[in-house]
Amino acid sequence: MSIRNFAKFFTVLLAVFLLTTTFSDAAKKKKKKEKDCIYCQKYEKMKDWPESERPAAFIWEDIKYPEGMFLPTSDTPKKKQGEAGGKVYARFVKGKGSLNKYQHLMIRDMAYFEALFNEMLKDKRAKVETLEGLKKGREAMRMSLQISPKAKTSEAVLKFWATGKMLKAAWKQNKKKKKKKSKIDPEIAERAAVLANMKKQIALAKVNAQRAATIEAQKQIEQTQ
């Protein structure tokens, strides 16, 4: 995808999120008894929802996460849920004001958002309504890297994690350049410019995506602290 098309894609995506936010605000004015979810109308918690009756998106996946993503002590779904929840809360809720400043960390931590959703599927006490809300936020975030809503969590985790590492390398390069004020090879400069443009577009989309995600997920995330 060319940079021009990439920019157009995110412009459209941003417009979609703005419209989504508008409709979301309007929906809040409806009666409280109306829930913006499907499966929660029938099942309250995951323990009430038989795996045989769940869509594929709500079935836990045994994932081999990237090296270094989790601490060695996070060796169970519950512990991974707690660590991922802490990362998501710190980045998208507590540290939302610095998302544009540390875009590479923002993209990287979307891998933790994927992990949080996946590991919660193994939690019998998790509310179905919360998971449906998280799924919507997850799909919004996936749109930024054109990851299919039907893609496996393992695939999305690897893409977010790898992209985050790539952007981090570019961030370090730019930081070093500013510090030393040295000349760099034209080819490297061109690549850095492409990455910089990519980061700016991702930031615009992500700010809106994380708002949609954290509004519905914040309470559950806080409980993992």
Gyration radius (Cα) of the chain, Å: 19
- Tens digit of pLDDT for each residue in 119-135? 999 999 999 999 999 99
Helical ranges in 28-76 per DSSP H: none
Q: Work out how many domains the chain is built from and give that number.
A: 1
The pLDDT value recorded for residue 14 is: 47
Decide: 132 and 49 in contact? Cβ < 8 Å. Answer: no
Least confident of 50-54, 65-69, 137-141, 208-212: 208-212
pLDDT: is 156 or 192 the higher one? 156
186 or 80, which is more confident: 80
Residue 28 in any domain: the answer is no
What single-letter DSSP state applies at residue 68? T
The pLDDT value recorded for residue 17 is: 47
Q: 134, 118 in Cβ contact below 8 A?
A: no
**Integer Cα distance of 15 and 205 in angstroms:** 9
Asked whether residue 187 is assigned to any structural domain, the reply reads yes
Q: Is the pLDDT of residue 35 over 60?
A: yes
For residues 171 and 64, which has the higher predicted lDDT (pLDDT)?
Answer: 64
C-beta contacts of 96-105 below 8 A and 24+ residues apart: 96/210, 96/214, 99/203, 99/206, 99/207, 99/210, 100/203, 100/207, 103/167, 103/171, 103/199, 103/202, 103/203, 103/206, 104/164, 104/167, 104/168, 104/170, 104/171, 104/199, 105/164, 105/168
Confidence at residue 2, expressed as pLDDT on a 0 to 100 scale: 43
Does residue 7 fall inside a structural domain?
no
Do the domain assignments include residue 207?
A: yes
Q: Give the CA count within 13 Å in the CB-facing half-sphere of 164.
A: 18
Mean pLDDT of the 73-81 span: 96
In a domain? residue 167: yes
42 contacts: CB under 8 Å, gap ≥ 6: none
Cα–Cα distance for residue pair 57/217, rounded to 1 Å: 17
Q: Are 164 and 111 in contact (CB under 8 A)?
A: yes
Lowest mean pLDDT among 35-39, 147-151, 170-174: 170-174
Whether pLDDT at 223 is above 80: no
For 61, 175, 194, the CA distances from 201, given in Å and listed in that order, are 31, 20, 11
Whether the pLDDT of residue 60 is over 50: the answer is yes
| Strand extents, DSSP E, the chain | none
For the question of whether the overall pTM of this predicted structure is more than 0.85, the answer is: no
Q: Is residue 4 part of a domain?
A: no
pLDDT of residue 103: 84
Q: Is residue 218 part of a domain?
A: yes
Please give the residue range of the domain that contains residue 178.
36-223
Inside any domain, residue 65 = yes
**pLDDT reading at 61 higher than 70:** yes
